Amino acid sequence: MRHPGWVVGLTIAGMALVGCSPSPTPTGSAAVPESPQESKPSAPAPVQVQPGMVGAQTPGVLSVDSIKAETLPVAKFPALALAQENLRGQVLRQLAWAGEKRIEILPAINSASKDAIALLVEIKAGDASRYATIAYDVASNSAFNPLAMIEPTKWAELVAAVSGAEGGDQVASALSEQAFPFGNAPALAFAADGSLLVLGDQRIVIPAEQITPMLTPLGRKLQSGAVKPEKAEPPQKFSEPAPGLTDSREASAAPTASPGQASPAPTASPTASSEPSSPRPRISLGPDCDKLKCVALTFDDGPVAETTDLLKVLREKKAPATFFALGNNVKAHPGVLKEIGIEGHQIGWHTVTHGELPRLSADRVRTEVSSGPNTLSQLLGWAPVIFRPPYGAHNAKVDEVIKANNMANVMWSVDTKDWDKSRVQGAELTQAVVSSAVNDTKPGGIILLHDIHGTSRAAAAPIIDQLSKKGFTFVTVTELPGWQHFAWGRTYCAAPSLKATCF
Ligand code: NI
């Protein structure tokens, strides 16, 4: 071992654990006693701050058979809530599509302060366990993967530090991948003494004195919020993200375009290795929709019993979708709603009775909208972050109520008119719906469909096949590019990054 100061933990991920739990908690008391040869000190545990420090109290739970997904209610911090939603959905989808039956998703707060919050999510699948981190900047309401904690210029130093640790080679090579669960990169978290834990195939510890100089301002805030947690509160108004809180690709694109000027600061320490220095990878969370042609399929007015047929198609095609659920149908088919959630699709709210909101009394609007968070929290353990008004009908008063209920208003960019049976019906209608979805969709688009109609459910498979052939990638609504800029009560009809004018 080249760096004797480091302590290396036991392998916890990617393999079955047979009676040798590295868990720092005393719950594994039946474990085999450690042999004297293996008496090296174990890695410290990640800090777990009381959820009350971020105003979250207890997590909600979705539990079906051997699948348990917890969600911390963090709606005071919108981008953190969205990032948690995207991460949970992505994990559930991947595991459902892989046929995994035993799943646990356990979010915890690793760091809290007035400036920053780190959410550390433990993901257990079968006998394996691994982690994902969300690093959140309070002032600018921005969520990132944990690499946002590391200075771009110190990137090579971190990689060298990790690969120098015992068993660290694999962890170091995974560091450059996209953050788990969107890629395979390890999670980063802090221990109570300020040391950094790199949670991959091995648990690598980088002592505080070594990691501190490598941290960005956000990283240092998170470190101090782990060593000495304090209560987090959102500001009156969120600011623009600080310089440096952008992706390395954006940050590095500008200087290379002007070769005549003085060269910018080096992107990596030249002393680290003889390898050409590679820049810090992307710090955005979620699918890379700046590169991919992302599109969101949305299904309104369900769930109905036949929605399960649609779920089978989506599973077979490995395509996520977003469902805007109607309260009355949720009441009639609560099991189907849970199945949608367990399969990792996104669920938004679509009122209780499908009333036209601008025509209803203020009291009635409040009931129609606020039932969403209550009803869905009870069934799923999480409140919806997105809302779609019936008929797309809303006004400033309705938007205020949506905002008060911590949801963003989501319309569409492609109306397939799958609800209109006045011109064609049956297979002809299905064909018309497929043509509209395939021909009218642009990257960042949101496609409107209704899972209550058999003709629309039949359109799902050909739409997915044909749009895939055109190079589109399916994502949920809040994975569309620019989702970090969703604000409660605001209206979107396509990817927020497109800044489309909506109705
Ligand atoms: Ni509707």
Query: How far away, in angstroms, is 416 Cα from ligand 1 center?
Result: 13
Active-site hit among 333, 350, 450, 485 = 450
Instruction: Please confirm whether the linkage preceding 334 is cis (ω < 30° from 0).
Output: no
Q: Quick check: is 300 catalytic? A: yes
User: pLDDT per position in the chain (503 positions), as tens?
Assistant: 333 322 223 333 333 333 333 333 333 333 444 444 445 567 899 999 999 999 988 999 999 999 999 999 999 999 999 999 999 999 999 999 999 999 999 999 999 999 999 999 999 999 999 999 999 999 999 999 999 999 999 999 999 999 999 889 999 999 999 889 999 999 999 999 999 999 998 899 999 999 999 999 999 999 999 999 999 999 999 988 777 777 644 443 333 333 333 333 444 443 444 444 678 888 999 899 988 999 999 999 999 999 999 999 999 999 999 999 999 999 999 999 999 999 999 999 999 999 999 999 999 999 999 999 999 999 999 999 999 999 999 999 999 999 999 999 999 999 999 999 998 999 999 999 999 999 999 999 999 999 999 999 999 999 999 999 999 999 999 999 988 888 999 999 999 988 888 87
Candidates 353, 381, 326; CA nearest to 88 is 381
What is the 306 CA–ligand 1 centroid distance (Å)? 17
Q: For residue 451, how far is its CA from the centre of ligand 1 (angstroms)?
A: 10
Which residue, among 29, 30, 143, 27, has the nearest Cα to 85 in the 3D structure? 143
Element (H, E) at 162: helix 155-164
pLDDT, residue 273, reads: 42
Q: How far is the CA of 468 from the centre of ligand 1 (A)?
A: 26
CB 62 within 8 A of CB 72: no
Compute, in angstroms, the gap from residue 264 CA to the centroid of ligand 1.
53
Instruction: Report pLDDT for 277.
Output: 60
- Structure tokens given for 415: 């109306």
Q: Helical H runs in 291-425? A: 307-317, 327-332, 334-342, 362-380, 396-404
For residue 59, what is the DSSP state?
P
Q: Which of 201, 247, 300, 301 is catalytic?
A: 300
- DSSP E strands in 1-127: the ranges are 60-64, 67-71, 103-112, 116-125
Quote the ligand 1 centre to 350 CA distance (angstroms).
7
Ligand 1 centroid – CA 299 distance (Å): 9
Strand ranges in 158-199 using DSSP code E only, listed in sequence order: 187-190, 196-199
For 189, list phi and psi in degrees, rounded to 5.
Answer: -150, 165
- Ligand 1 centre to CA of 483 (Å) is 23
Q: Which residues contact 476 (CB under 8 A, 6 or more apart)?
A: 86, 89, 296, 320, 321, 322, 345, 346
Instruction: Confirm whether 137 is a catalytic residue.
Output: no
Is 136:77 a contact under the CB 8 Å cutoff?
Answer: yes
- 479 alpha carbon – ligand 1 mean position (Å): 22
Sheet holding 116-125, edge to edge: 60-64, 67-71, 103-112, 116-125, 128-137, 142-144
